[in-house]
Homo-oligomer: A and B are copies of this chain.
Amino acid sequence: MAGTQQTDVVISKGRFEAFSDGVFAIAITLLVLELHPPDLTIPTNATLVSALLAMWPEFLVYWGSFATIGIIWFNHYALFHNARRITYAALITNLLLLSFVCFIPFTTLLIAREGLIPVATAFYGLVLLLMSACFNVLFYVMMLTPGERGSFLGFLRKRNLWNSLGPAVYAGGSLLAFASPLASILLFAAMAVFYLLPGTVKGTLDATGGSSTST
């Protein structure tokens, strides 16, 4: 219920969830627009099969980005679930968070277009880094009471550790891209899968009180 203990309450949350849900839903659906069927002069079964197989990196980033936006949406849901009102800080942080979420289709297309080269992959990771950083700030302003805000350790204790580590992992993955883009993209995909594991999901719900029975 920490979300309701904000002192500088300004805005009620109904339309903020609706607007955010819309943006998440559109961003996740736009990912498919970045997938372009191969342009074959004479499409045959053989050429099309090989062309589709050659698209595996694009399919990998499609499901990787889909899982990433899906899980950040779920975290957003858990964070807003018990909040009654949105503070000014949360309003601004949420808008910034959404601007990075909406940016993911671009970085996804960047990899699909340019291939798995270091800079494209690092740029992809940079946006994930900024997105998860915004999310941690959003958690900070929405879930912590003014009293708790002082100590960073208290922040880590209250927050389920894994999500706090998100920015660190995304930063590391971005650097890793210059050694091996494929290893980097697999790390990002693994991070999404990890966030989808029962334990992490439960941890998120416990940290935010999202598993409460109120609807």
Contact A23 B29 (CB under 8 A): yes
Cβ of A109 under 8 Å from chain B: yes
Stretch from A30-38, A143-151, A154-162, A183-191 forming part of the interface with B: A30-38
Assembly of this chain: how many copies?
4
Cβ of A179 under 8 Å from chain B: no
Which chain B residues border A80 with CB–CB below 8 Å? 15
CB distance from A117 to the nearest CB of B (A): 6
Q: Name which of A73, A99, A109 has the most chain B CB atoms within 10 A of its CB.
A: A99
Number of A interface residues in the complex (CB < 8 A)? 76
Stretch from A43-51, A133-141, A163-171 forming part of the interface with B: A43-51
Contact B66 A102 (CB under 8 A): yes
Q: Name which of A25, A33, A81 has the most chain B CB atoms within 10 A of its CB.
A: A25
Q: Name which of A16, A23, A32, A123 has the most chain B CB atoms within 10 A of its CB.
A: A32
Contact A202 B99 (CB under 8 A): no
